[in-house]
Amino acid sequence: MAIELTALETPALLLDEARMHANITRLRDRLPAPGPFLRPHVKTAKCLEVALAMSGGVPGPITVSTLREADRFAQAGFRDIVYAVGISPNKLTHAMALLASGVQLSVILDSVEAASALTAFMQGRPERLDVLIEIDTDGHRGGIAPAAPELLVVADALRSPSVRLQGVLTHAGESYNCRSTGALEAMAEQERAGAVLAAQRLRAAGYPAPVVSIGSTPTALTARDLSGVTEVRAGVFVFFDLVMAGVGVCTPHDIALSVLTSVIGHQRDKGVTLCDAGWMALSRDRGTASQPVDQGYGLVCDAQGRVLPDFIVTAVNQEHGSIAHRNGDPGRYLDVPVGTMLRILPNHACATGAQHEGYQVLGQDGTVTARWPRFGGW
Protein backbone atom coordinates (compact mmCIF):
# COMPACT_ATOMS: atom_id res chain seq x y z
CA MET A 1 0.00 0.00 0.00
CA ALA A 2 1.43 3.38 -1.04
CA ILE A 3 -1.28 6.01 -1.45
CA GLU A 4 -0.47 9.60 -2.34
CA LEU A 5 -1.80 12.20 0.10
CA THR A 6 -3.64 13.82 -2.77
CA ALA A 7 -5.82 10.70 -3.01
CA LEU A 8 -7.14 11.18 0.54
CA GLU A 9 -10.42 12.84 1.35
CA THR A 10 -10.01 15.57 3.95
CA PRO A 11 -9.96 16.07 6.85
CA ALA A 12 -7.84 13.04 7.71
CA LEU A 13 -5.61 12.17 10.67
CA LEU A 14 -1.99 11.58 9.63
CA LEU A 15 0.59 9.70 11.66
CA ASP A 16 4.25 10.06 10.72
CA GLU A 17 5.54 6.61 11.66
CA ALA A 18 9.23 7.50 11.69
CA ARG A 19 8.64 10.41 14.08
CA MET A 20 6.57 8.16 16.33
CA HIS A 21 9.37 5.58 16.53
CA ALA A 22 11.93 8.32 17.21
CA ASN A 23 9.79 9.63 20.08
CA ILE A 24 9.46 6.15 21.57
CA THR A 25 13.19 5.50 21.29
CA ARG A 26 14.00 8.82 22.93
CA LEU A 27 12.05 7.96 26.07
CA ARG A 28 13.06 4.29 26.19
CA ASP A 29 16.73 5.28 25.92
CA ARG A 30 16.40 7.52 28.99
CA LEU A 31 15.31 4.69 31.25
CA PRO A 32 18.24 2.93 32.87
CA ALA A 33 18.39 -0.85 32.44
CA PRO A 34 18.08 -2.55 34.83
CA GLY A 35 15.83 -0.04 36.49
CA PRO A 36 12.32 1.35 36.30
CA PHE A 37 10.53 0.11 33.23
CA LEU A 38 8.15 1.94 30.93
CA ARG A 39 4.45 1.32 31.38
CA PRO A 40 3.18 3.47 28.49
CA HIS A 41 -0.18 5.15 28.77
CA VAL A 42 -2.16 3.98 25.75
CA LYS A 43 -4.95 6.54 26.09
CA THR A 44 -3.28 8.97 23.68
CA ALA A 45 -3.34 6.56 20.75
CA LYS A 46 -6.10 4.03 21.64
CA CYS A 47 -4.64 1.94 18.85
CA LEU A 48 -3.20 -1.55 18.94
CA GLU A 49 -0.42 -0.91 16.45
CA VAL A 50 0.81 2.13 18.38
CA ALA A 51 0.62 0.32 21.73
CA LEU A 52 2.71 -2.51 20.30
CA ALA A 53 5.30 -0.04 19.03
CA MET A 54 5.45 1.57 22.50
CA SER A 55 5.96 -1.87 24.06
CA GLY A 56 8.80 -2.84 21.76
CA GLY A 57 6.79 -5.03 19.38
CA VAL A 58 5.21 -7.46 21.85
CA PRO A 59 2.47 -6.83 24.41
CA GLY A 60 3.94 -5.40 27.61
CA PRO A 61 2.72 -3.60 30.73
CA ILE A 62 0.39 -0.69 29.90
CA THR A 63 -1.60 2.06 31.58
CA VAL A 64 -5.19 2.72 30.51
CA SER A 65 -7.69 5.50 31.18
CA THR A 66 -10.86 3.47 30.50
CA LEU A 67 -11.90 -0.12 31.05
CA ARG A 68 -12.80 -0.19 27.35
CA GLU A 69 -9.09 0.29 26.64
CA ALA A 70 -8.34 -2.54 29.08
CA ASP A 71 -10.80 -4.81 27.23
CA ARG A 72 -9.44 -4.02 23.79
CA PHE A 73 -5.79 -4.35 24.70
CA ALA A 74 -6.41 -7.48 26.78
CA GLN A 75 -8.03 -9.11 23.75
CA ALA A 76 -4.83 -8.33 21.84
CA GLY A 77 -2.62 -10.02 24.45
CA PHE A 78 -1.78 -7.18 26.88
CA ARG A 79 -2.09 -8.81 30.26
CA ASP A 80 -0.49 -6.41 32.78
CA ILE A 81 -2.75 -3.36 32.99
CA VAL A 82 -3.03 -0.40 35.39
CA TYR A 83 -6.34 1.43 35.17
CA ALA A 84 -5.12 4.86 36.28
CA VAL A 85 -8.36 6.70 37.00
CA GLY A 86 -9.89 6.42 40.48
CA ILE A 87 -12.09 3.32 40.52
CA SER A 88 -15.83 3.86 41.02
CA PRO A 89 -17.99 1.06 42.50
CA ASN A 90 -20.05 0.75 39.30
CA LYS A 91 -16.96 -0.44 37.41
CA LEU A 92 -16.05 -3.28 39.74
CA THR A 93 -18.13 -5.92 37.95
CA HIS A 94 -16.32 -4.95 34.74
CA ALA A 95 -12.99 -5.19 36.58
CA MET A 96 -13.91 -8.72 37.73
CA ALA A 97 -14.59 -9.74 34.13
CA LEU A 98 -11.10 -8.55 33.21
CA LEU A 99 -9.58 -10.57 36.08
CA ALA A 100 -11.58 -13.61 34.97
CA SER A 101 -10.13 -13.27 31.47
CA GLY A 102 -6.63 -13.58 32.91
CA VAL A 103 -5.67 -9.89 33.08
CA GLN A 104 -3.47 -8.78 35.95
CA LEU A 105 -5.40 -5.57 36.64
CA SER A 106 -4.47 -2.85 39.11
CA VAL A 107 -6.89 -0.11 40.07
CA ILE A 108 -6.23 3.12 41.94
CA LEU A 109 -8.04 5.01 44.69
CA ASP A 110 -7.33 7.78 47.18
CA SER A 111 -10.03 7.70 49.85
CA VAL A 112 -11.42 5.58 52.66
CA GLU A 113 -14.84 5.70 50.95
CA ALA A 114 -13.47 4.17 47.76
CA ALA A 115 -11.38 1.63 49.72
CA SER A 116 -14.38 0.58 51.82
CA ALA A 117 -16.61 0.25 48.74
CA LEU A 118 -13.95 -1.91 47.13
CA THR A 119 -13.43 -4.23 50.09
CA ALA A 120 -17.21 -4.53 50.58
CA PHE A 121 -17.59 -5.54 46.92
CA MET A 122 -14.68 -8.00 47.12
CA GLN A 123 -15.88 -9.62 50.38
CA GLY A 124 -16.04 -13.39 49.93
CA ARG A 125 -15.00 -13.29 46.30
CA PRO A 126 -12.38 -15.77 45.07
CA GLU A 127 -10.57 -13.16 42.89
CA ARG A 128 -7.80 -10.91 44.14
CA LEU A 129 -7.64 -7.33 42.88
CA ASP A 130 -4.42 -5.30 42.96
CA VAL A 131 -4.70 -1.74 44.25
CA LEU A 132 -2.36 1.25 44.13
CA ILE A 133 -2.99 4.25 46.35
CA GLU A 134 -2.96 7.46 44.34
CA ILE A 135 -0.52 10.02 45.67
CA ASP A 136 -0.73 13.78 45.07
CA THR A 137 2.81 15.00 44.54
CA ASP A 138 1.98 18.37 42.94
CA GLY A 139 -1.47 19.60 44.00
CA HIS A 140 -2.68 19.00 40.46
CA ARG A 141 -5.66 16.67 40.77
CA GLY A 142 -6.47 13.62 42.89
CA GLY A 143 -4.39 11.74 45.41
CA ILE A 144 -3.22 11.80 49.02
CA ALA A 145 -0.25 13.96 50.01
CA PRO A 146 2.83 11.75 50.58
CA ALA A 147 3.16 12.65 54.27
CA ALA A 148 -0.57 12.76 55.10
CA PRO A 149 -1.79 10.49 57.94
CA GLU A 150 -4.74 9.56 55.67
CA LEU A 151 -2.40 7.38 53.60
CA LEU A 152 -2.18 4.78 56.35
CA VAL A 153 -5.91 5.04 57.09
CA VAL A 154 -6.70 4.18 53.45
CA ALA A 155 -4.15 1.35 53.51
CA ASP A 156 -5.83 -0.02 56.62
CA ALA A 157 -9.27 0.21 54.95
CA LEU A 158 -7.92 -2.00 52.15
CA ARG A 159 -7.20 -4.97 54.45
CA SER A 160 -9.01 -7.87 52.80
CA PRO A 161 -8.02 -11.33 51.59
CA SER A 162 -9.38 -10.34 48.16
CA VAL A 163 -7.37 -7.13 47.84
CA ARG A 164 -3.63 -6.78 47.42
CA LEU A 165 -2.18 -3.34 48.19
CA GLN A 166 0.63 -3.19 45.67
CA GLY A 167 1.97 0.31 46.30
CA VAL A 168 1.56 3.86 45.09
CA LEU A 169 0.96 5.77 41.86
CA THR A 170 1.37 9.45 41.09
CA HIS A 171 1.12 11.66 38.00
CA ALA A 172 2.78 15.09 38.03
CA GLY A 173 0.25 16.78 35.76
CA GLU A 174 1.38 20.17 37.07
CA SER A 175 4.54 19.65 35.03
CA TYR A 176 2.52 20.92 32.06
CA ASN A 177 2.73 24.35 33.67
CA CYS A 178 6.52 24.32 34.06
CA ARG A 179 8.30 26.89 31.93
CA SER A 180 11.99 26.00 32.19
CA THR A 181 14.25 22.96 32.26
CA GLY A 182 15.12 23.74 35.87
CA ALA A 183 11.44 23.83 36.84
CA LEU A 184 10.82 20.54 34.98
CA GLU A 185 13.74 18.83 36.71
CA ALA A 186 12.54 20.09 40.08
CA MET A 187 9.01 18.84 39.35
CA ALA A 188 10.34 15.45 38.29
CA GLU A 189 12.27 15.17 41.54
CA GLN A 190 9.23 16.27 43.55
CA GLU A 191 7.18 13.56 41.82
CA ARG A 192 9.82 10.89 42.47
CA ALA A 193 10.54 11.88 46.07
CA GLY A 194 6.85 12.14 46.99
CA ALA A 195 5.99 8.73 45.58
CA VAL A 196 9.01 7.10 47.21
CA LEU A 197 8.20 8.71 50.59
CA ALA A 198 4.62 7.44 50.43
CA ALA A 199 5.80 3.90 49.60
CA GLN A 200 8.36 4.02 52.42
CA ARG A 201 5.65 5.04 54.90
CA LEU A 202 3.48 2.12 53.79
CA ARG A 203 6.40 -0.29 54.14
CA ALA A 204 7.30 1.07 57.58
CA ALA A 205 3.69 0.39 58.60
CA GLY A 206 3.98 -3.22 57.46
CA TYR A 207 2.56 -3.13 53.94
CA PRO A 208 4.89 -4.59 51.28
CA ALA A 209 4.09 -1.87 48.67
CA PRO A 210 6.54 -3.08 46.00
CA VAL A 211 5.23 -0.73 43.25
CA VAL A 212 6.26 2.92 42.94
CA SER A 213 4.64 4.16 39.73
CA ILE A 214 5.29 7.71 38.51
CA GLY A 215 5.06 9.61 35.28
CA SER A 216 4.01 12.28 32.87
CA THR A 217 5.71 13.07 29.58
CA PRO A 218 7.47 16.25 30.83
CA THR A 219 8.84 14.63 33.99
CA ALA A 220 9.71 11.33 32.29
CA LEU A 221 11.83 13.25 29.77
CA THR A 222 13.62 15.43 32.32
CA ALA A 223 14.03 13.35 35.51
CA ARG A 224 17.68 13.10 36.56
CA ASP A 225 17.16 10.48 39.24
CA LEU A 226 14.69 7.61 39.33
CA SER A 227 15.90 5.87 42.47
CA GLY A 228 13.17 4.08 44.35
CA VAL A 229 10.88 4.16 41.30
CA THR A 230 9.76 0.85 39.78
CA GLU A 231 7.89 2.06 36.69
CA VAL A 232 7.40 5.18 34.57
CA ARG A 233 4.11 5.95 32.87
CA ALA A 234 3.97 8.43 30.00
CA GLY A 235 1.58 8.71 27.08
CA VAL A 236 1.59 11.79 24.91
CA PHE A 237 5.34 11.47 24.24
CA VAL A 238 4.48 8.94 21.53
CA PHE A 239 3.05 11.64 19.27
CA PHE A 240 3.91 14.88 21.09
CA ASP A 241 1.86 18.01 20.42
CA LEU A 242 2.01 21.81 20.57
CA VAL A 243 1.42 21.86 24.33
CA MET A 244 4.49 19.67 24.82
CA ALA A 245 6.44 21.92 22.45
CA GLY A 246 5.33 24.88 24.57
CA VAL A 247 6.49 23.08 27.72
CA GLY A 248 9.83 22.64 25.98
CA VAL A 249 10.17 18.84 25.83
CA CYS A 250 9.91 18.64 22.02
CA THR A 251 9.82 20.88 18.96
CA PRO A 252 7.02 21.10 16.36
CA HIS A 253 9.27 18.95 14.12
CA ASP A 254 8.92 16.03 16.55
CA ILE A 255 5.11 16.03 16.42
CA ALA A 256 4.01 12.82 14.71
CA LEU A 257 0.30 13.63 14.49
CA SER A 258 -1.35 16.13 12.16
CA VAL A 259 -4.67 16.73 10.48
CA LEU A 260 -4.64 16.89 6.69
CA THR A 261 -7.02 19.57 5.45
CA SER A 262 -8.00 21.27 2.19
CA VAL A 263 -8.35 24.98 1.54
CA ILE A 264 -12.01 25.65 0.70
CA GLY A 265 -12.07 29.45 0.28
CA HIS A 266 -10.80 32.87 1.33
CA GLN A 267 -12.02 35.98 3.06
CA ARG A 268 -9.22 38.19 1.80
CA ASP A 269 -10.53 41.37 3.40
CA LYS A 270 -10.29 39.68 6.79
CA GLY A 271 -7.00 37.93 6.09
CA VAL A 272 -8.61 34.52 6.49
CA THR A 273 -8.08 31.32 4.52
CA LEU A 274 -10.83 28.78 5.15
CA CYS A 275 -10.11 25.06 5.40
CA ASP A 276 -12.20 21.95 6.03
CA ALA A 277 -10.70 21.14 9.45
CA GLY A 278 -13.03 22.56 12.08
CA TRP A 279 -13.39 21.48 15.69
CA MET A 280 -14.73 18.09 14.61
CA ALA A 281 -11.32 17.29 13.14
CA LEU A 282 -9.04 19.34 15.42
CA SER A 283 -11.00 19.26 18.72
CA ARG A 284 -11.78 22.35 20.75
CA ASP A 285 -8.63 21.97 22.83
CA ARG A 286 -6.94 25.32 23.43
CA GLY A 287 -4.15 24.00 25.63
CA THR A 288 -1.61 26.51 24.29
CA ALA A 289 -3.83 29.48 25.23
CA SER A 290 -2.19 29.62 28.67
CA GLN A 291 1.33 29.21 27.28
CA PRO A 292 3.69 32.00 26.17
CA VAL A 293 3.02 31.10 22.49
CA ASP A 294 -0.69 30.67 21.75
CA GLN A 295 -1.08 28.39 18.75
CA GLY A 296 -4.83 28.96 18.35
CA TYR A 297 -6.46 25.66 17.34
CA GLY A 298 -3.29 24.42 15.66
CA LEU A 299 -0.14 25.34 13.77
CA VAL A 300 -0.26 25.22 9.97
CA CYS A 301 2.19 23.24 7.81
CA ASP A 302 2.29 22.64 4.08
CA ALA A 303 1.17 19.26 2.74
CA GLN A 304 4.70 17.86 3.18
CA GLY A 305 4.69 18.78 6.86
CA ARG A 306 6.97 21.85 6.67
CA VAL A 307 5.89 24.28 9.38
CA LEU A 308 4.54 27.67 8.21
CA PRO A 309 5.42 29.34 11.51
CA ASP A 310 3.38 32.51 10.96
CA PHE A 311 0.06 30.75 10.37
CA ILE A 312 -2.33 29.26 12.90
CA VAL A 313 -5.96 28.20 12.96
CA THR A 314 -7.53 31.18 14.69
CA ALA A 315 -11.17 30.07 14.77
CA VAL A 316 -13.18 26.90 14.26
CA ASN A 317 -16.75 25.93 13.50
CA GLN A 318 -17.86 22.33 13.29
CA GLU A 319 -16.38 21.70 9.84
CA HIS A 320 -14.64 25.03 9.07
CA GLY A 321 -11.25 26.23 10.22
CA SER A 322 -10.09 29.84 9.77
CA ILE A 323 -6.38 30.19 9.08
CA ALA A 324 -4.77 33.59 9.62
CA HIS A 325 -1.42 35.20 10.36
CA ARG A 326 -0.64 34.85 14.04
CA ASN A 327 -0.30 38.63 14.49
CA GLY A 328 -3.75 39.17 12.96
CA ASP A 329 -2.47 41.26 10.05
CA PRO A 330 -5.08 40.83 7.24
CA GLY A 331 -2.47 41.86 4.67
CA ARG A 332 -0.42 38.74 5.34
CA TYR A 333 -2.96 35.99 4.78
CA LEU A 334 -2.11 32.54 3.47
CA ASP A 335 -2.54 33.03 -0.25
CA VAL A 336 -2.89 29.51 -1.64
CA PRO A 337 -5.52 28.24 -4.09
CA VAL A 338 -8.71 26.43 -3.17
CA GLY A 339 -7.93 22.71 -3.04
CA THR A 340 -4.44 23.17 -1.61
CA MET A 341 -3.73 20.59 1.07
CA LEU A 342 -2.24 21.66 4.40
CA ARG A 343 -1.46 19.92 7.66
CA ILE A 344 -2.42 21.22 11.09
CA LEU A 345 -0.34 20.28 14.12
CA PRO A 346 -2.59 19.69 17.16
CA ASN A 347 -2.53 21.43 20.52
CA HIS A 348 -3.35 18.21 22.34
CA ALA A 349 -2.74 14.88 20.59
CA CYS A 350 -5.14 12.93 22.84
CA ALA A 351 -8.03 15.30 22.09
CA THR A 352 -7.41 15.58 18.34
CA GLY A 353 -6.91 11.84 17.99
CA ALA A 354 -10.22 11.24 19.74
CA GLN A 355 -12.05 13.02 16.91
CA HIS A 356 -11.00 10.38 14.36
CA GLU A 357 -11.62 6.71 13.65
CA GLY A 358 -8.13 5.86 12.53
CA TYR A 359 -4.67 6.97 11.45
CA GLN A 360 -3.40 7.31 7.91
CA VAL A 361 0.14 6.13 8.52
CA LEU A 362 2.85 7.99 6.59
CA GLY A 363 6.01 6.26 5.43
CA GLN A 364 9.39 7.91 4.87
CA ASP A 365 8.44 8.97 1.33
CA GLY A 366 5.32 10.79 2.54
CA THR A 367 2.83 8.31 1.09
CA VAL A 368 0.23 6.51 3.15
CA THR A 369 1.52 3.02 3.87
CA ALA A 370 -1.19 1.74 6.22
CA ARG A 371 -4.40 2.61 8.00
CA TRP A 372 -4.48 1.88 11.72
CA PRO A 373 -7.88 1.90 13.44
CA ARG A 374 -8.45 3.57 16.78
CA PHE A 375 -11.37 3.27 19.16
CA GLY A 376 -13.18 5.38 21.73
CA GLY A 377 -15.90 5.08 24.33
CA TRP A 378 -16.02 3.46 27.73
Ligand X SMILES: Cc1ncc(COP(=O)(O)O)c(C=O)c1O
Q: Is 288 in the site for ligand X (CB under 6 A)?
A: no
- CB nearer to ligand X: give 23 or 273: 23
Least separation in angstroms between residue 4's CB and ligand X is 33
Q: Is 325 in the site for ligand X (CB under 6 A)?
A: no
- CB nearer to ligand X: give 44 or 355: 44
- CB nearer to ligand X: give 171 or 325: 171
Q: Is 291 in the site for ligand X (CB under 6 A)?
A: no
Residue from 19, 46, 72, 171 binding ligand X (CB under 6 A): 171
Backbone region of residue 320 per phi and psi (left: phi > 0; alpha: psi in -120 to 50; beta: other values): beta
- CB under 8 A, 24+ apart: contacts of 30-35: 30/220, 30/221, 30/223, 31/226, 31/232, 32/226, 35/226
Q: Is 39 in the site for ligand X (CB under 6 A)?
A: no
Least separation in angstroms between residue 374's CB and ligand X is 16
- CB nearer to ligand X: give 71 or 174: 174
- CB nearer to ligand X: give 111 or 369: 111
Q: Do the beta carbons of residue 368 and residue 360 sit within 8 Å?
A: yes
Torsion angles phi and psi, residue 322, rounded to 5: -105, 120
DSSP annotation of 36: P
Residue from 235, 296, 305, 346 binding ligand X (CB under 6 A): 235
Q: In sequence order, what are the residues at sequence separation of 6 or more whose Cβ sits closer than 8 angstroms to the Cβ of residue 118?
A: 87, 89, 92, 107, 109, 129, 131, 158, 163
Q: Is 271 in the site for ligand X (CB under 6 A)?
A: no
Which sign, positive or negative, has the C-alpha torsion 343, 263, 374, 279? positive
- CB nearer to ligand X: give 216 or 262: 216
Choose the binding region for ligand X from 125-133, 210-218, 303-311, 318-326 (rule: CB under 6 A).
Answer: 210-218
Residue from 38, 42, 84, 362 binding ligand X (CB under 6 A): 84
Least separation in angstroms between residue 167's CB and ligand X is 14
Choose the binding region for ligand X from 143-151, 193-201, 215-223, 367-375 (rule: CB under 6 A).
Answer: 215-223
What's the alpha-carbon Rg for the chain, to the nearest Å?
A: 22
Distance of CA 321 to CAs 222, 263, 270, 342, Å? 35, 9, 14, 12
Least separation in angstroms between residue 377's CB and ligand X is 18
Least separation in angstroms between residue 39's CB and ligand X is 9
For residues 346, 351, 354 and 355, what is the CA-based torsion angle, rounded to 10 degrees?
-60
Choose the binding region for ligand X from 160-168, 184-192, 209-217, 299-307 (rule: CB under 6 A).
Answer: 209-217
Q: Is 217 in the site for ligand X (CB under 6 A)?
A: yes
Residue from 106, 166, 216, 352 binding ligand X (CB under 6 A): 216
Name the burial class of residue 210, with classes exposed (0-12), middle (13-18) and buried (19+) by CB atoms within 10 angstroms of its CB: exposed
Distance CA 187, CA 259 (A): 32
Distance CA 118, CA 101 (A): 20
Q: Is 239 in the site for ligand X (CB under 6 A)?
A: no
- CB under 8 A, 24+ apart: contacts of 177-183: 177/290, 178/218, 178/247, 179/247, 179/248, 179/292, 180/248, 181/222, 181/248
Q: Is 215 in the site for ligand X (CB under 6 A)?
A: yes
Least separation in angstroms between residue 215's CB and ligand X is 5
Q: In sequence order, what are the residues at sequence separation of 6 or more whose Cβ sits closer than 8 angstroms to the Cβ of residue 326?
A: 296, 310, 311, 312
- By CB under 6 A, the residues from 41 to 60 that bind ligand X are 41
Least separation in angstroms between residue 7's CB and ligand X is 33
Distance CA 215, CA 198 (A): 15
Residue from 121, 207, 237, 279 binding ligand X (CB under 6 A): 237
- Number of amino acids touching ligand X (CB under 6 A): 12
Least separation in angstroms between residue 233's CB and ligand X is 4
Q: Is 233 in the site for ligand X (CB under 6 A)?
A: yes
- Quick count: other Cβ atoms within 10 Å of Cβ 299? 27
Distance CA 108, CA 161 (A): 17
Choose the binding region for ligand X from 151-159, 214-222, 292-300, 304-312 (rule: CB under 6 A).
Answer: 214-222
The residues of the shown chain that bind ligand X, judged by CB under 6 A, are: 41, 63, 84, 171, 215-217, 233-237
